[in-house]
Amino acid sequence: MNLRRVVVTGLGALTPIGNTVEEFWNGLSNGVSGAAPITRFDASKFKTQFACEVKGLNVEQFIDRKEARKMDLFTQMGLIVADQAIIDSGLDLEKSNLNRIGVIMGSGIGGLRSFQDEVTDFAKGDGTPRFNPFFIPKMIADICAGFISIKYGFKGPNFVTVSACASGTNAIIDAFNYIRLGKADIFVTGGTEATVTEAGVGGFNALKALSQRNDSPQTASRPFDKERDGFVLGEGAGCLILEDYEHAKARGAKIYAEMVGGGMSADAYHLTAPHPDGEGAGNVMKNALEDAGMKPEDIDYINVHGTSTPLGDISEIKAIQKVFGEHAFNLNISSTKSMTGHLLGAAGAIEAIASILAIQNSLVPPTINHFTDDEEFDSGLNLTFNKAQKREINAALSNTFGFGGHNASVIFKKISE
């Protein structure tokens, strides 16, 4: 069976270090930290009092106030980045076959704020069941994809992927495969998450997953550093327009990169901890390489999951060294979560965008906040500490791993005829 080629023709980003793709890339290139004290609620009684919030966002600049009230923040952000990406792609929707355009948006948790607020209000009341009529539509994770479809009239496949922190990457892989198989010509895909809430911070604190470096939020996300103490919770959204190559070429679209492979695997090990030897992480990278028809030495850059947890960082590096062998020492490796924090279900989307822009700009974004070497990591590895590095990047791999042992990897490369 001849599989169709798939390219990236549009991007949209709303992140803790920039509310557009350009701002996001500038933040990454310059090693900007998005972490700061929480403003969305009073966090003074929580063990962790900071997060990577989206800053300066006025939703009503993008979405009518009446419509916005029907949406949780995660949906609002997903709509905003979809609009950015569609505009960026130059698609003429009046000339497009809307039956051949689909939407797949990942979200690990969905409308957590809406769920939390409705249940809290009910618990404070007299027991009479008074709920907002939009409570369920605001909460359910699929609703962002539904809103995008309704707004633009896209009538192709439409659903959400939920695989914790791998959700955004799984969405991209699904969209990629639908296009390869000829089931659609274009997909709006990515991830969105808005969990900087009392329930989000309190829940992750209870798991002992978050950094508690309240005295220095900006330096709290420190992947691969010996003193790393947990991830920093983030929020935001990322969107890619994936398109059949021939379709994109026929309409004269600009092409950022070609998506050439996607891999998935399961740790089958533990609810929250990664396999200590990185078995699942190794398998997913092998699967992505096999899917792309590439060898390990074809990869120049890996945007790692790299959350800044003691167990997660070392298991991923072990997996990279097993899969890539001696070539691991020729790679640039970096964790952009050191700047954005961990966007959970949206992480894979913004990190795919970071990987694509790294290829486009021949620049590897850094792993910031490195202060103390950890002897568990081979000193010969290039973890791109503290400063971006110029490098020709022909192909980049991006990893995302989720609670439950869900692993997903994607590979992008420079476009060639």
Q: Taking 90 as the threshold, does the pLDDT of residue 417 lie above it?
A: no
Q: Tens digit of pLDDT for each residue in 234-255?
A: 999 999 999 999 999 999 999 9
Q: Where do the domains of the chain lie, and which CATH numbers do they carry? A: 7-250 (3.40.47.10), 262-413 (3.40.47.10)
Determine the average pLDDT of the residues in 104-129.
95
Residue 167: pLDDT band (50, 70, 90) is very high
Q: Taking 80 as the threshold, does the pLDDT of residue 377 lie above it?
A: yes
Which residues are annotated as catalytic? 165
pLDDT at position 1 is 73
For 200, the token pair is 């989000």
Helices (H) and strands (E) in the chain, counts: 13, 14
Q: Which residues pair with 385 in a beta bridge?
A: 367
Residue 59: pLDDT band (50, 70, 90) is very high
Euclidean distance between CA atoms 345 and 317, whole angstroms: 22
Euclidean distance between CA atoms 260 and 411, whole angstroms: 6
Determine the average pLDDT of the residues in 299-311.
97
For 409, the token pair is 């990897």
Which is nearest to 75 in space by CA: 103, 99, 52, 47?
103
For 15, 105, 192, 265, 295, the CA distances from 143, given in Å and listed in that order, are: 20, 9, 11, 26, 39
Eight-state DSSP code of residue 6: E
Euclidean distance between CA atoms 399 and 316, whole angstroms: 9
Instruction: Supply the pTM of this predicted model.
Output: 0.98
Determine how many CB atoms are found less than 10 A away from the CB of residue 195.
28
Euclidean distance between CA atoms 361 and 366, whole angstroms: 14
Which is nearest to 191 in space by CA: 330, 401, 348, 35?
348
Contact 51/235 with Cβ under 8 angstroms? yes
Eight-state DSSP code of residue 96: S
pLDDT at position 126 is 87
Residue 150's Cβ-count burial label (10 Å; 0-12, 13-18, 19+) is exposed
Q: Strands of 301-303's sheet, edge to edge? A: 158-161, 101-106, 186-193, 236-244, 6-14, 257-266, 406-413, 395-402, 301-303, 332-334
